Amino acid sequence: MTVEEIEEAAQIWSEGLKGSPAVTERKHPVLPQEGKRNVLLTSALPYVNNVPHLGNIIGCVLSADVFARYGRLRGWNLLFICGTDEYGTATENKAREEGLTPQEICDKYHAVHADIYQWFQIDFDFFGRTTTERQTEIAQDIFWRLHGRGFLLEDTVEQLRCESCQRFLADRFVEGECPHCRYPEARGDQCDKCGRLINAVELRNPQCKVCKETPVIRSSKHLFLNLPKLEDELEQWLDKSTGSGDWTANARHITHSWLRDGLKPRCITRDLRWGTPVPHEEYKEKVFYVWFDAPIGYLSITANYTDQWEKWWKNPQQVELYNFMAKDNVPFHSVVFPCSLLGAQDNYTLVNHLIATEYLNYEDTKFSKSRGVGVFGDMAKDTGIPSDVWRFYLLYLRPEGQDSAFSWSDMALKNNSELLNNLGNFINRAGMFVSKFFDGCVPEMLLNEDDNRLIAQVRWELKQYIQLLDKVSVCLRDVSVMCLCRRQRAGTVTGVSVNVACLLSVVLEPYMPSVSHTIRQQLQAPPTCVSAMLQNTGTFICTLPAGHCIGTVSPLFQKLENEQIEVLRKRFGGQQVCKRHSSIINQGFQAETAKLCFPERAKQLTALVAEQGNKVRGLKAQKAEQSVIDEAVETLLDLKKQLSLAEGKNPEPAAQKRKKK
């Protein structure tokens, strides 16, 4: 580093929080503002009937959440929306399995999704759903605009129909051999191996995924989006969007592969009952195909958030649109949906930045709910491992250039080395030193040349962090957050170390929000420190000056022991799905769970249980509304369940004996 760079860093450091922007609370509805960077951020809509596994979570909502949190810290005017995709055959089949109506299934699993994302601390501005009146209105409006401008075609198509199930099969409910690469498990719309578009009737040896019977071919009249007629306009837009925006390499490659051989008309209607109805008289018995309909959900969900939704979705001059998804969703976001909006000719906001991940696998296999293999979102909190640790590890594994795999042993290694020994020890050591030797107040800092050089190096790391995240590189393997801990040397001035700890709380905010908040709470850091250090290209400043008093410092992380990891590996390895032996396995698991305890976490939860118990008693004494009491009781029961897990006990309460009258 040059002398000038070191001197500049030292000067900025010494200015502290002088002139820092005031902290502003988010106010709803968030709307575009003149002169601000207006960012509209979407995460691919998860299918409502599936409980998301870790791969689904990192591929869409968690990656998007990191960028949303970062953007807000940077002062961008940002709206983050998502919701459940609720129409289609998958929902109908799930309803049949559970003996419920499709709407009841949607209501049930929408709540499941919402609970999972809340536990993972996904900070949506609005989490909606597609089974709404606004969805019907907007989808049908786009349909009529396409129809009126000559972008729809009629054709009779051959479809696969399962006579056993008495229904036409949606693309994802038929499987067979890919006609292009011979992959044996290709879906009816696309091959996951070669990525080629497939017509379901082209599959070799097709099989109904519900009943495993061989479907037959039947004819049906349908409407198509005339993609060839829109191809020139699409390519012009793509050249501009991919040229100026941040598109991941796989998103560019997949989009190019679709265009390479020329686009073909794409069917937008289906012979189903559960979906957005086609308003055309000749097709009134049909519904829109889910991938014509589902992306319109972004618009309708925003419309359910605010009546002024068009300020986001019909405002390409002022709004930047980011889409987050897994790679299998790319063609529908880069080709099919943009063509729908281009053809509608209504000044729609089109995607500027398309961020796609590869796939996350589980150990040496794939996630499978039916086989009990892998961790699904509703199971993660029952492990007793805090959600921030899950966030950290998933974001460390984030499959960017190629597929990656979740590993229990690697998770323990990363937790114990990176979080506990590196980050946790550094922050604890810096804080404890202030508490022990300086009565809890930051001492005077007489900086020498080495200290100034360190400040300049930390500032450089902060600039690298901002450059990476500005370009949506959110994988923790690439972001050098942990380097800030390792920059410290034995003789570093105590005041500098505790200020580096404060900076760490800032750069960790998008990744580990609870840990970040706890660090600032322990340091009693001023609220303005967060936005102040992330302004412009990054400014490392003295936010905890001499005389600043810190709070009580306590450990942030706990060690994951080998025994604990082995219990979890067995639990999620598939053994528990054999119904014949389920009771034996459950008893075995309960015995193993006794080994799985987290002493520090149990201590924290004991205090929270006591606090919540007092709250419940207070509400009852005040004769509060029953719904308020019920909500507080539910929170108390959840905390007690978490405490049982942290203590290594069975979280399910034993059956109570009836009292004798």
Q: Give pLDDT tens digits for 595-652.
A: 455 666 677 678 778 878 888 887 887 777 787 788 788 888 877 877 777 666 655 5
Question: Does a structural domain hold residue 38?
Answer: no
304-322 in b/e burial notation, b at 16+ Cβ within 10 A? Answer: bbbeebbbbbebeebbbbb
At which of 309, 344, 369 does a domain end?
A: 369
Residue type, 653: P
Determine the pLDDT at residue 349: 98
Residues 533 and 616 in one domain: no
Residue type, 7: E
Residue given tokens 């993660």 in the structure block: 380
Quickly state the pLDDT bin for 261 (edges 50, 70, 90).
Answer: confident
Residues 350 and 248 in one domain: yes
> Which residues are 167's β-sheet partners?
162
Residues 12 and 59 in one domain: no
Residue type, 582: S
Residues 299 and 444 in one domain: no
Percent of the chain whose pLDDT exceeds 70? 92
Residues 545 and 618 in one domain: no
Whether 660 shows a pLDDT value over 50: the answer reads: no
**Minimum mean pLDDT range among 152-156, 275-279, 357-361, 637-641:** 637-641
Tens of pLDDT, residue by residue over 327-339, are 999 999 999 999 9
The model's pTM: 0.84
Determine the pLDDT at residue 51: 92
By the 8 A CB rule, do 122 and 61 touch? yes
Determine the pLDDT at residue 141: 98
Distance CA 170, CA 93 (A): 11
The CATH number for 466's domain is 1.10.730.10
Left if phi > 0, otherwise alpha if psi is -120 to 50, otherwise beta: which for 3? alpha
Question: Does a structural domain hold residue 183?
Answer: no
Average pLDDT, the chain: 90
Determine the pLDDT at residue 108: 96
Q: Domain range holding 465?
A: 8-17+416-549
Determine the pLDDT at residue 187: 87
Residues 319 and 439 in one domain: no
Residues 522 and 601 in one domain: no
Determine the pLDDT at residue 628: 73
Whether 586 shows a pLDDT value over 70: the answer reads: no
**Minimum mean pLDDT range among 302-316, 363-377, 451-465, 501-515:** 363-377
How many whole angstroms from its chain centre is CA 103?
A: 25
How many whole angstroms from its chain centre is CA 530?
A: 22
Whether 580 shows a pLDDT value over 60: the answer reads: no
Determine the pLDDT at residue 588: 44
SS3 of 411-469: the string is: HHHHHHHHHHHHHHHHHHHHHHHHHHHCCCECCCCCCCHHHHHHHHHHHHHHHHHHHHH
By the 8 A CB rule, do 542 and 16 touch? yes
Q: Average pLDDT of 283-298?
A: 94
Tens of pLDDT, residue by residue over 410-461, are 999 999 999 999 999 999 999 999 999 999 999 999 899 999 999 999 999 9
Whether 661 shows a pLDDT value over 80: the answer reads: no
Residues 55 and 105 in one domain: yes
Determine the pLDDT at residue 612: 82
Cβ atoms within 10 A of the Cβ of 173, count?
25
Tens of pLDDT, residue by residue over 85-129, are 999 988 988 898 899 999 999 999 999 999 999 999 999 999 999
The CATH number for 646's domain is 1.10.287
Question: Of the ranges 24-28, 60-64, 442-446, which is most confident?
Answer: 60-64
Residues 333 and 426 in one domain: no
Residues 604 and 505 in one domain: no
